[in-house]
Structure 1
Amino acid sequence: MAHQDDVAERTPLLRNTQNDLSPQGYGDIQVAPGQRQGVEEPPPLYSPPYNGTLGNVVPCRVCGEVIDITSRKDQHVVRCSTCNEATPIRNAPPGKKYVRCPCNCLLICNVTSQRIGCPRPNCKRIINLAPNTASIPQCQLPGLCRVCCVHCQENFLFNTLSNALARCPHCRKVSSVGPEYARGRGILSLILAAVFLAITLGILLGTYQYAASKKGIYVAYVGGFIAFLLFLARGLYYFTMRVSQVEGPA
């Protein structure tokens, strides 16, 4: 469905039919030399079709020439014989809207579209339909920084105040932003490993004489050693973790 919508948005509204007043279509429109192609500012606001009292004629929305629509009232758009551009005479179909490219090509797209490409081979510009938010002040989050991933060298945003590991959205690998976080967690894990080892050895030395008659003591031995090994592995994991560097504020 998305492919069909994209094809529909790039299809010219008027084709070369016998009802067209000009057989050249869009191909004969020339772009001024040196005109830059690519992403442009949002096009001028589109004016709705003329609803005056001129009877069976409407003014061209590009050059202002009067167009006779007596035999073409069932069409959505008509072509001007003077400038060869399309002018809508009916509202766009439900869920669609008209957009006029700066080269005067009339396009139709979904009402939710944010970008649309001009189909003319000598234009091909991308029209940005999203509202311009450049003038809207951005709320800067405290601690938000640009980070260079140590694994893939791509940049991503990360809040250094979150006190957590950073997962790169590009390679999905985890790293520490700065060496302090990984070093602190590694030291804490080794301290806990040493504490569990000391507790387990104390229990072992104090109760080994009763272990033969009280089998439940072995559960404490095993649990203590497992906790020691887990914290030891976690400490080694943090100490060997690769570190991503902060490049600057977002």
Structure 2
Amino acid sequence: MADSRRGESEPLLSNSESSENEGIAPSAPNLPPINSTEIPPVLGSDVPPPIQPGEMPPPYSPPVQGGPGGGVPMINCRVCQAMINLEGRMHQHVVKCSICHEATPIKEAPAGKKYVRCPCNCLLICKLSSKRIACPRANCKRIINLAPMTTVATPSTTNTLTTTSGYRVVCGHCNERFRFPHSSTLARCPYCRRVSSVGQAYAKNRCIIYTVIGLIFLGAGIGVTIGTYSLAENQGGIYFVWIGAFVVGILNLMRAVYYGVMKVSTLETD
């Protein structure tokens, strides 16, 4: 009786490969025992590797919405309006366009700073208190005036800062346009850094004034020289009077020539 029961239970307790693998596909790998720490091989190349014992799971990163390419963040270039992919660059303040190679801000400027777009499309960053900045590009080197009133460039509207008060002047040297608060004086162009007369009347009047003063001193020097020629042999100080009169007269005539050949910048009406 005991032998017959033992014979009935033997097939159920035998751990043969044929009985365990019955009904399993031939391509399926053998599963390890429950107590084993061995990891079964990966079935496909597109399946991520399992987490090892004691390994922390990767951090959760929510998908970024708002892009036409299925969640990819995009922004328009502020220069050529081409689309710029922001994937992996959201931590930056500015990004570079692959078409025109110019920078476009995607975040607000750091504290105490502001963005400025040069006429050559170079994006600059400067202090909020800055009144004048220079473009660092070798083929530009323009001086941008930020005072008295400016338009601050932001990531949504990045425009060139221009002053809104004064007269619009066309430089007589480089023909660039800039703002100047006075209409009849000398002005230094912020682009070429050369001085010109704003309006022809200013330089003409100064030329006449210095010419008259120079001729007066030259005439006085000649008169003093002729009148005191005999006294100069005994009094050597008279020579200094002659020299002083001639020097002042020549300097005034040189100043008159300077204003006479000066370039004239014209005024434009808004």
The normalised TM-score by structure 2 is: 0.45
Tell which structure's C-alpha radius of gyration is larger: 2
Higher relative contact order (CA 8 A, sep 6+): 1
The normalised TM-score by structure 1 is: 0.49
